[in-house]
Amino acid sequence: MNVKSSAARQQPTRRYQRSLMQITLIQMSLTLAGVVVVLTGLSYFQIMRSLEADAISDLTDYVTERGRRDDDLFQLAEDNHASLKSRFLQTLEQTNEDVSLPAEMQEWSDGTIRNFPQNVSPEEFDTYENATLYISSQTVNTSSLRQHMVAGNSFLAAYGAAWYNRFINTYLIFPENALVGYFPGVPWGLEIASDLDMTKEEYFYISDRRHNPTRETAWSGLFFDPIAKQWMVTAATPIDDVQGRHIATVGHDIVLNELIKRTIDVHLQGTYNLIFRTDGRLIVDPQRMDLIQGNQGNYNVVNSGDAHLRRIFDAVQSLEAGQSVVTNFADDEYLAVTKLEGPDWYFVVVYPRSLLNSVALRSAGFVLFIGSIALILNILLLSWVLHYQVSHPLNQLLATTEKVSSGNFNVTLDLSRQDELGRLASAFTIMSRELSKSFAQLEAQNDALELRVQERTQELSQTLVELRSTHTQLVQSEKMSSLGQLVSGIAHEINNPVNFIYANLDPAQTYVKDLLALVNLYQAEYADPSRSIQLFINDIDLEFIKEDLPKLLNSMTVGSERIRDIVKSLRNFSRLDESGFKPVDISEGIESTLMILRHYLHPKNGDSKIEVVRQYDRIPLVECCPGQLNQVFMNILTNAIDAIHEQQSQHPGYMGQIQIRIGVVNDGWIRVLITDNGIGITDEIRAKLFDPFFTTKPIGKGTGLGLSISHQIVTKTHHGRLECSSVVGQGTQFAIEIPVQAIPSTSTIDEESSASTVECATPTNSGRPPYYEGFAVLLGEDQ
């Protein structure tokens, strides 16, 4: 082959549509654009975080100052009430008990008693100089009431006008439904309806003992006074005599028009203010004033059905001590909260977070604008540099490369540059010269190489044949070695925890017996326990526990013994140890196995019940390894149960039956026949029945070791026989025969015996159903 001529025939077959300069510019542009975007995003989050901190600080200061300013009047009212209460009691002590009502008190036609003639317009009454007095038509005019009314009139004459500059009125309401009220500009006591029961109004009952057990100043909700024609709130303080009887309530009505207007109109830009009571009763809301006034001030957040308002209320209620600002994430807003300590109201500033977002977005947009301008300038500068410093020299080198690829090794490049491209040009020139020499040498060596390749190919073919043969032998050997290690490892890993569990079951049973004895002794000594103990005994059903707990422990013992037996079988299978022989009753081992499998024979749903028919002849004790022999019974019975269940799944209502017969045969042997009326087994499967790891179950449902181990236990360990007969669709029978006296032997279960195959007998017409083992039998744990 002529290598040089072949190279000379090669021509460039592909033209790239994009240059290195374009790719670099695009990549750098995208990188710089990404940096600008990331910086913009970071600046947005930084600005947003700074704005949030500033906003929370400002909101805290603002709402604290607003709360302090709006709370002053309420605090003044409470302080004033403490003084008024004391002075009224002093005035009462100085008033005679048999005093008469003032002479101006007259009975009106409606039965009420008031301190102004009925036929004179109430506007003629001087409300600035005098208080109005009112006694309901249903009120009994007692000496005590007269004393209280006269004392109240004297009290308000002395102190009512003094507080007019701060409060629009001062009044006393008595539990007998009577009033002494100083209300400049409003003759309130003269305009009260005759059927008005003031004791049932909120501005009075908030001071009675049922609603105000602490006997402190209480505040009503927002209400509209039809006489004063004002929205107001009442501060009411109960006055009790020395015997603790409620004799009067002193009150101030505070007009809220100014507070409502200030709450609605004076707010931070973009925000709005709310006021509501701790029980959810809304006082001021610029968006819901019509609802508040339409409900006579009884609009409650809790049952309003307004989800947004309820979330605000819940967030405010969740404030921790010392916290002034909370975030309502559901509505994306801050809530600045302060408490008006007088009426115990919440003043809330609702600050939408979108206000901060807009500022942060404007700042981030400016950063993006500046970054975009810088990006464009960088791209232009980079384009100029790449074109003159990289793209042009590379195009020259590319043209030279195409000449070399066509077989022309006489190249001329600019070697004056001192940078990487200059070094690349120099290296390329040297390479082209060396290539010219190399192609000549390769052409000479190519012919010799082809001959050597043919020789090596023949040698490798022979070696490959030998390697395949060796590989097959190694794989087979490794399989057998891994099998032994696997079984041995499983037995070893299971054996330790099982022994630990088994060793602790016996003392556990002893402890349980002692504890149950202690419980019985306690019940005998203390036959009448306390009600709580008796309720607990009934709840846990102590009698059932005392009866069932020993059974549970006994079942756990049987189960742990079963696991140990399985481990022993695995150890024997992998030649870990040898089983010990001892005389045992074979029927006891079968019964123990049936007990373990009871839940498979009698399932709770009752759809797959299996009847067990026993026919045990009297037989002598048999010298055997009882654990291993029980393993054989377990595997065969498990297969029988599964075979019957499969038959029942195909024929609903099918009655499953397992027959177990034990008897003595000639020459000192015993025979165990286990017969089922399951689905049966084919001859093809039966021929492999005792092969290790043969199974017809799905992957993960069985290992295929059950019958293999069983066969070795019967034939090798006990020098007996294990045979099977079956008819598909009718059933299967396993026949186990072992000598009564153990036959001395030094052999154990080994791998060579695992390849044994059962001898299948033809079913007879003896009246019993033919038998089958319809799938590969696994160990007991495959149940």
Q: What does the pLDDT read at residue 487?
A: 57
Indicate whether 782 pLDDT > 50.
no
**Separation in Å, CA 609 to CA 115, 597, 656, 679:** 100, 12, 7, 16
Contact assessment for residue 771 and residue 733, using Cβ atoms and an 8 Å cutoff: yes
Structure confidence at residue 414 as a pLDDT band (50, 70, 90): low
Query: Higher-confidence residue: 188 or 430?
Result: 188
| Per-residue confidence (pLDDT) for residue 608, from 0 to 100 | 72
- As to burial, measured by CB atoms within 10 angstroms (0-12 exposed, 13-18 middle, 19+ buried), residue 459 is exposed
pLDDT tier at 766, thresholds 50, 70, 90: very low
Q: Percent of the chain at pLDDT above 70?
A: 82
Alpha-carbon distance of 239 to 152, in angstroms, equals 12
255, 277, 310: which is the final residue of a domain?
255
The proportion of the chain whose per-residue pLDDT surpasses 90, expressed as a percent, equals 23
pLDDT digits (tens, 9 = 90+) for 697-728: 666 565 566 787 888 889 988 999 999 999 99
**Range of lowest pLDDT (109-118, 195-204, 257-266, 360-369):** 360-369
Backbone angles phi, psi at 569, to 5 degrees: -65, -40
Which residue has tokens 């206000």? Answer: 355
Say what the pLDDT of residue 418 is.
67
CB atoms near residue 528 (< 10 Å): 6
Which pLDDT score, from 0 to 100, does residue 683 have?
86
Q: 373: number of CA atoms within 13 Å, CB side?
A: 5
* Partners of 534 in beta bridges: none
Residue 396 predicted with pLDDT over 60: yes
Residues in the chain: 783
Residue 76 lies in a domain: no
Tell me what pLDDT residue 470 has: 55
- More confident call, 556 vs 708: 556
Instruction: Give 59's contacts (C-beta < 8 A, 6+ positions apart).
Output: 268, 324, 325, 334, 336, 349, 351
- Contacts for 430-436: CB closer than 8 Å, 24+ residues apart: 432/404, 433/409, 435/404, 435/409, 436/409
Question: Are residue 483 and residue 556 in the same domain, yes or no?
Answer: yes
What is the torsion angle, in degrees rounded to the nearest 10, for the CA atoms of residue 143, residue 148, residue 151 and residue 152? Answer: -140
Per the CB < 8 A criterion, the answer to whether 390 and 362 are in contact is: no
- pLDDT of the residue at 363: 73
pLDDT band at 463 (very low <50, low <70, confident <90, very high): confident
Same domain, 655 and 752: yes
| Predicted pLDDT at 116 | 94
What are the tens digits of pLDDT across the range 117-139? Answer: 999 999 999 999 999 999 999 99
pLDDT bin (cut points 50, 70, 90) of residue 240 is very high
Burial 312-337 (b: 16+ CB within 10 A, else e): bbebbeeeeeeebbbebeeeebbbbb
Are 307 and 290 in the same domain? yes
Quickly state the pLDDT bin for 7 (edges 50, 70, 90): very low
Looking at the fold, whether 631 and 775 belong to one and the same domain comes out as: yes
Mean pLDDT of 542-570: 80
pLDDT classification of 777: cutoffs 50, 70, 90: very low
Domain boundary among 304, 325, 351: 351
Pairing mode, strands 106-107 and 113-114: antiparallel
User: 514 and 596 share a domain?
Assistant: no
Residue 377 forms part of a structural domain: no
Same domain membership, residue 605 and residue 570: no
**In 3-state terms, what secondary structure has residue 31?**
helix
Distance CA 155, CA 180 (A): 10
Mean pLDDT of 132-149: 92
Which pLDDT score is estimated for 774?
Answer: 32
| Residues 587, 559 within the same domain | no
Q: What is the mean predicted confidence (pLDDT) over 270-295?
A: 87
Q: Which of 102-111, 473-482, 696-705, 769-778 has the highest mean pLDDT?
A: 102-111
Residues 6+ apart with CB under 8 A from 175: 199, 208, 246, 247, 248
Q: How confident is the model at residue 148 (pLDDT cuts 50, 70, 90)?
A: very high
Domain that holds residue 506: 409-526+533-575
Q: Is 586 exposed, middle or buried (0-12, 13-18, 19+ CB in 10 A)?
A: buried
- SS3 for 221? coil
Please report whether residue 516 resides in a domain. yes
- Do both 449 and 343 map to the same domain? no
Cβ neighbors of 735 (< 8 A, separation 6 or more) are 671, 672, 673, 721, 722, 723, 724, 725
pLDDT at residue 734, as a whole number: 94
Whether 252 shows a pLDDT value over 70: the answer reads yes
pLDDT of residue 566: 65
Quick check: 752 pLDDT over 70? no
pLDDT for position 341:
76
Q: What CATH number is attached to the domain comprising 668? A: 3.30.565.10
Cα(492)–Cα(573) distance, rounded to whole angstroms? 12
Question: End-to-end distance of the chain based on CA atoms, in angstroms?
Answer: 71
Q: What is the pTM of this model?
A: 0.42
What does pLDDT average to over the chain? 80
Same domain, 716 and 729: yes
Q: Is the Cβ–Cβ distance between 719 and 624 less than 8 Å?
A: no
Category of 346 on φ-ψ map: left (φ > 0), alpha (ψ -120 to 50) or beta: beta
- Does the residue 756 lie in any domain? yes
Burial label for 27, CB within 10 Å (0-12, 13-18, 19+), is exposed
Same domain, 683 and 772: yes
Decide which of 351, 376, 398 is a domain's last residue. 351
Q: Is residue 32 part of a domain?
A: no
What pLDDT score was predicted for residue 485? 61
Closest C-alpha among 224, 227, 163, 174 to residue 204: 174
Residues 570 and 591 in one domain: no
Which pLDDT does position 466 carry in this prediction? 65
Which has more confidence, 701 or 602? 602
On whether residue 650 sits in a domain, the answer given is yes
Indicate the pLDDT class of residue 661, thresholds 50, 70 and 90.
Answer: very high
Give pLDDT, residue 607.
63
Task: List, edge to edge, every strand of the sheet that includes 721-727.
Answer: 610-616, 656-665, 669-676, 731-739, 721-727
| pLDDT value at residue 151 | 92
Residue 673 lies in a domain: yes
Q: CATH code at 326?
A: 3.30.450
Is residue 12 situated within a structural domain?
A: no
Most confident of the ranges 196-200, 297-301, 482-486: 196-200
Residue 765 has pLDDT above 50, yes or no: no
Number of domains in the chain: 4
pLDDT of residue 23: 78
pLDDT tops 80 at residue 335: yes
Whether residues 562 and 587 share a domain: the answer is no
Question: For 137-151, 570-584, 704-718, which range has the lowest pLDDT when averaged over its residues?
Answer: 570-584
Print burial letters for 248-257: b (CB count within 10 Å at least 16), e (below 16). bbbbbbbbbe
- In one letter, which amino acid is 724? C
d(CA 569, CA 491): 9
Count CB atoms within 10 A of the CB of residue 106: 14
pLDDT in tens, 291-327: 888 887 788 888 888 899 999 999 888 888 878 888 8
